[in-house]
Structures are given as structure tokens and as C-alpha cells.
């Protein structure tokens, strides 16, 4: 796992995707490793609520794992709660990992959620550049094949997160510089580099994490995570590769969800 940097090229087309892949292969000697695939769907609560507020479920699925984010607008944010106040039953955002089909889980538990018509797909490729970098590039596709541009994700493997030192800005600049260099010059005016969540911000969503003890909610038998194929992290390292891969993937898909939602692609 490594420090992650995201970029959006909103005006890209299928031709732009090919150009980015050529730049990775020719200019950076990148080697194709795998497909990059994520599917995002949304569900709405069908339970009537008093006092207003909506509750929505987003699922982000790779071929191996599904991540579920519940956004309850009536619940408090985590950073609003203090030790002096009565702790709520849950906070506004609940983020969990589900190994298997979310539809099977909702059916088996008779959960009060109904699927909406929203369906967003990220379809692309994963490259390795030397031994230090993993690059993921994918088209963002809506129903009917509508293309909403490219998402690029670079992962700097030597550092699981930006160190708290004088070199931290150097690593941020290096990661931003690489992801920018992957976009053709004609597309850089419509491209935007994203930052990763700081550790404190991530804890506001999930609470302080014990990555060694965290396990996914299992609904089916799953295969071992692929280091190159799905997601990244910027967190503490763990001696168990499977656990660190899981945490890396969680942070990656959470950030991707936030980026797409801020653009209005997810509603």
C-alpha cells in the first residue's frame, strides 16, 4: 500500500483514456497489470421518518468486495459528539465492508432499503511504474454509456502515508506531479488534482481504527485481495497483508465516492 493521489479529467473521452494509457506506457515505461472496475449504486430507506431527514445507502463494489456507506442526514456528525454528551446510536456516516453481494445481504436481513436508478461504473486499467508506483486510470460511465471523464489514481508504495516531517510536502508534490504528467497537455485545463484525507479526517468518519482486528461482514466466500487491482490506502502498515489491503481499499473507495458526490455525479 502507499500514499495516494487522485485526479479528475472531466472533459476526457474514450480517446483521452487511450492517450493516458499511451503516456503511462511510453513516457513512464508503465506495465499493464490488471483491470480496474468499480460499480456504485444507491438505495433509499423506505421507512417513514418523523422529524424529517433522509437516509441513503451507497454501495461501491469491486469484483471481490462491496463497501457500503450509509448517510443519515438526521444523525450527528462524529466530530460534534463529545465525551460530555450522550453518545448517539450512530453517526451520520457509517462505512462498512461486505464480502459478497449487498443485494443478498439486504434480502436475507429484510433491510428497509429500495434501490434507486443510479448506477455509476468505473472501468479502466492498472499499471505498475517501476517498483515504486501503481497507477489506476478509468472512465466514469453512467447508464447508457454516457462518459463523465477520467479518474486517475496514483499510489506511491514506499510510504503508506505522508510522513509528519519536512519531506511530507516533497512527497505530495511528487505525487501530484506524476498524476498531472499522465494527462495530455490539451486536457490539463479541465483536470483537477485531489488531495487525500488526513488521518484525523478519516477518523471523523470511521473512528480510530484497529486495522489488525477489523474484518469484513461476510455474506459469501471471497478470494484473496489483489495488490494491484483494487484500491489503495494511506494508513498505518500491518503485518497482515490481507488486512492492510482491506484498509487501503476502504480509504480509496471512500475518497472516490466523496469526489463523485461533490461533482453531483452521485446524488
Q: Is residue 28 part of a domain?
A: yes
Q: Is residue 267 part of a domain?
A: no
Q: Is residue 129 part of a domain?
A: yes
The domain of 186 spans: 3-262
CA distance 250 to 215: 12
- Name the pTM for this structure: 0.77
Higher pLDDT, 79 or 227: 79
Q: Is residue 52 part of a domain?
A: yes
Q: Is residue 114 part of a domain?
A: yes
Cβ neighbours of 228 (radius 10 Å): 16
Q: Is residue 57 part of a domain?
A: yes
Q: Is residue 190 part of a domain?
A: yes
Judge whether residue 76 has pLDDT over 80: no
CA distance 229 to 221: 19
Instruction: Read off the pLDDT of each residue in 60-74 and give the average, rounded to a whole number.
Output: 83
Judge whether residue 226 has pLDDT over 90: no
The answer to which of 53-62, 71-80, 92-101 has the lowest mean pLDDT is 71-80
- The count of domains in the chain is 1
- Give the pLDDT of residue 227: 31
List pLDDT tens digits, range 144-158: 889 999 999 998 888
Q: Is residue 60 part of a domain?
A: yes
- Give the pLDDT of residue 118: 85
Alpha carbon distances (Å) from 239 to 3, 108, 213, 243: 18, 34, 12, 8
- Give the pLDDT of residue 134: 94
Amino acid at each position: 500500500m502507499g500514499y495516494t493521489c487522485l485526479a479528475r479529467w472531466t472533459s476526457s473521452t474514450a480517446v483521452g483514456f487511450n492517450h493516458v494509457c499511451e503516456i503511462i506506457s511510453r513516457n513512464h515505461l508503465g506495465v499493464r497489470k490488471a483491470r480496474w472496475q468499480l460499480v456504485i449504486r444507491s438505495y433509499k430507506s423506505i421507512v417513514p421518518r418523523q422529524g424529517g431527514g433522509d437516509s441513503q445507502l451507497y454501495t461501491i463494489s469491486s469484483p471481490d468486495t462491496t463497501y457500503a456507506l450509509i448517510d443519515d442526514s438526521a444523525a450527528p456528525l462524529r466530530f460534534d459528539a463529545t465525551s460530555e454528551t450522550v453518545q448517539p446510536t450512530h453517526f451520520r456516516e457509517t462505512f462498512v465492508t461486505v464480502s459478497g453481494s449487498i443485494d443478498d445481504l439486504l434480502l436475507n436481513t429484510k433491510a428497509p432499503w429500495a434501490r434507486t436508478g443510479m448506477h455509476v461504473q468505473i472501468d479502466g486499467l492498472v499499471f505498475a511504474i517501476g517498483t515504486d508506483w501503481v497507477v489506476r486510470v478509468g472512465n466514469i460511465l453512467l447508464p447508457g454509456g454516457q462518459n463523465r471523464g477520467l479518474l486517475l489514481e496514483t499510489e506511491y508504495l514506499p510510504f503508506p502515508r505522508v510522513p509528519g516531517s519536512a519531506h511530507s510536502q516533497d512527497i505530495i508534490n511528487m505525487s501530484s506531479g506524476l498524476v498531472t504528467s499522465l494527462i495530455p497537455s490539451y486536457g490539463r485545463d479541465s483536470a483537477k488534482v485531489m488531495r487525500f484525507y488526513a488521518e484525523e479526517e478519516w477518523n471523523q468518519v470511521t473512528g480510530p481504527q484497529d486495522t489488525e482486528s477489523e474484518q469484513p461482514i461476510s455474506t459469501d466466500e471471497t478470494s484473496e485481495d489483489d495488490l494491484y487491482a483494487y484500491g489503495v490506502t494511506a494508513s498505518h502498515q500491518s503485518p497482515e497483508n490481507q488486512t492492510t489491503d482491506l484498509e487501503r481499499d476502504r480509504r480509496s473507495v471512500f475518497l472516490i465516492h466523496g469526489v463523485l458526490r461533490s461533482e453531483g455525479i452521485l446524488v
